[in-house]
Structure 1
């Protein structure tokens, strides 16, 4: 017998299933336009979504213990949130549950937003991806004149990850280190030969954030708010280490709090819910903000995947990225046809993010069984 678990679950596919919403334990995700495309309308699809919702609820119940740090997940179809659920605890000590409205730091899944900001500035004619980073960030070592914005975006700069330098000077994860401290740490790092292969490094996206601020006159958090979040009506904010009653706490393996002191951004730090993230994911289909330049210059990785503008392009055409910052872990996937988007967010190192994401993908992606 499956143990009783507290699960918040919503099925959201328009008025035809409005009765289901009445039983949802929390308010539904932000309202979106009523479904009009065949993929989310019609009795057959509505019945199918109901079955997929049931199976998804079982997946959450199986994989998220009710007495441990929790997880929240959502599924979108052509920009419409069709299912969302949550289980586990947002605050372990206080016993406060995760709900579908609980916010999380999405960690490295944030990178796609920084990359999008850079591409927007290039479309505006203000920068070129072929520009060296030294055009925008002062006092860099020799590699500043050689590393291009393109190499930063695609992780071929060969600049080491900034945490190595912070650790060397005694600034651990819980010690204060803001954007300036982090950029100064990157200035002290010595790159290998730029452009000689893929080497994932958070330093790349910290530097790209500096480019956005220098060129636009707005720090990256403000740029994203004005150019992306507000126009799309997304409830998102770039604010690393933000504390609020609706933001989950972050837990290590032993259930100790993982309270970050690092507040740099560009590589991490967007706070939101899975439902909001899957709404954003529809940009890969519509092309309103994410355009054809998204995968221009994508770089081949050792595992056969390509790295584009802050997202991995898998061999089957799906887009994906995962994140980890402290106890916050996340997974974000967009189907090859760009019609299905799944987001998973958890607040504990031991949370089964991958298991949840894989189960949901098998349930919701129409091509997963092919």
Structure 2
């Protein structure tokens, strides 16, 4: 009885989502402890995190301030810029069009790349690029004659009932303010850059873990898109040493780890996010902060371990 009352209290507090595992399950408490360790003080900027199972949020919480000027706290409803975690939507948009045979001129494109004399033949070496994703967004616009944010809304966000928007604007309702920290002082961060394709998806961690279920179901894009995401992934070396991972491979807008889990990080304008999906694609984690938190990547791994073991 006490366990059931405690679970109801956590649901009402917004710490555990309805449908989470019930009596005797301490995963919510352990997850909250991970967030407290990541954000020791609730007086400054902080982080929000969420865990999803098969498209449903089973745990989410926030800690710290979304806006220091007003004292608005970070909650599970606080909106963040997901930074480079937005790249997967750009990549998937291109795969979607390719699956519909909307993209032509592949040979000409490869010829143009070779004429530019790249350092290595395509597919041989990894080089992270923001500008290429900006260009891909414009390719989608050119082919579909639709603004890229509108295309994502029509093809991904609305069909999956996701409360997401692609917008580089800073005045998205409910959005956190991001900060730079120096010697204990926090300064609001902003940028004059308003491009999209490499970033600019605005949403909550809870919505992002709901999106993750498409990597299991293929509801958008089908098996062809799911195969295209990881097919031909290229080694990125030891960029994941912070998690004790020797090597990962970069696929289409996402990293593929040796155990077949998916992961990506994002850093932009003081926003820092980590997104991870379990090897069996049933569990997903998102952690996002409005100030640099060096351990947010590790925290995401800890949360995934809690909810998959």
Whether the TM-score (by the shorter chain) exceeds 0.5 is yes
Q: Are the aligned partners of 1:104 and 1:328 in contact in 2 as well (CA < 8 Å)?
A: yes
1:287 to 206, 218, 225: 218
Does 2:138 align with 1:210? Answer: yes
Does 2:149 align with 1:221? Answer: yes
Aligned to 2:67: 91
Q: Are the aligned partners of 1:241 and 1:261 in contact in 2 as well (CA < 8 Å)?
A: no
Q: Are the aligned partners of 2:38 and 2:293 in contact in 1 as well (CA < 8 Å)?
A: no
Aligned counterparts, 1:1-370, within 5 A: 19-20=8-9, 23-24=12-13, 45-47=21-23, 50-64=25-39, 65-127=41-103, 130-133=106-109, 145-146=112-113, 192-193=119-120, 195=122, 196-254=124-182, 255-289=186-220, 290-303=225-238, 304-350=247-293, 352-366=295-309
d(CA) in 2 for partners of 1:207 and 1:132? Answer: 16
2:44 aligned counterpart, secondary structure: coil
- 1:87-132 Cα distance to aligned partner (Å, 9 max, x none): 0010122221101000000000001000000001001111159455
Q: Are the aligned partners of 2:14 and 2:76 in contact in 1 as well (CA < 8 Å)?
A: no
Flag the 1:206–1:226 CA change in 2: closer, same or farther, 3 A.
Answer: same
Q: Are the aligned partners of 2:167 and 2:202 in contact in 1 as well (CA < 8 Å)?
A: yes
How far apart are residue 58 of structure 1 and its match? 1.4
How far apart are residue 202 of structure 1 and its match? 0.6
How far apart are residue 302 of structure 1 and its match? 2.1
Q: Are the aligned partners of 2:84 and 2:199 in contact in 1 as well (CA < 8 Å)?
A: yes
Flag the 1:242–1:308 CA change in 2: closer, same or farther, 3 A.
Answer: same
Q: Are the aligned partners of 1:122 and 1:129 in contact in 2 as well (CA < 8 Å)?
A: no
- 1:221-277 Cα distance to aligned partner (Å, 9 max, x none): 110001100011000000013313410001012311111111111110000000000
1:232 aligned counterpart, secondary structure: coil
d(CA) in 2 for partners of 1:233 and 1:204? Answer: 28
2:275 aligned counterpart, secondary structure: strand
More strand by share: 2
Q: Are the aligned partners of 2:272 and 2:293 in contact in 1 as well (CA < 8 Å)?
A: no
d(CA) in 1 for partners of 2:196 and 2:57? Answer: 28
How far apart are residue 306 of structure 1 and its match? 1.5
With 355-364 and 342-351 compared, the bigger mean Cα shift is at 355-364
Q: TM-score, normalised by structure 1?
A: 0.72
d(CA) in 1 for partners of 2:142 and 2:301? Answer: 40
How far apart are residue 193 of structure 1 and its match? 4.8
Flag the 1:147–1:210 CA change in 2: closer, same or farther, 3 A.
Answer: farther
d(CA) in 2 for partners of 1:307 and 1:270? Answer: 20
1:83 aligned counterpart, secondary structure: strand
How far apart are residue 78 of structure 1 and its match? 1.0
d(CA) in 1 for partners of 2:5 and 2:108? Answer: 54
Q: TM-score, normalised by structure 2?
A: 0.85
Which consecutive residues of structure 1, in runs of 5 or more, have no partner in the other structure?
1-14, 134-142, 149-158, 160-189
For the pair shown, the structure with the greater C-alpha radius of gyration is 1
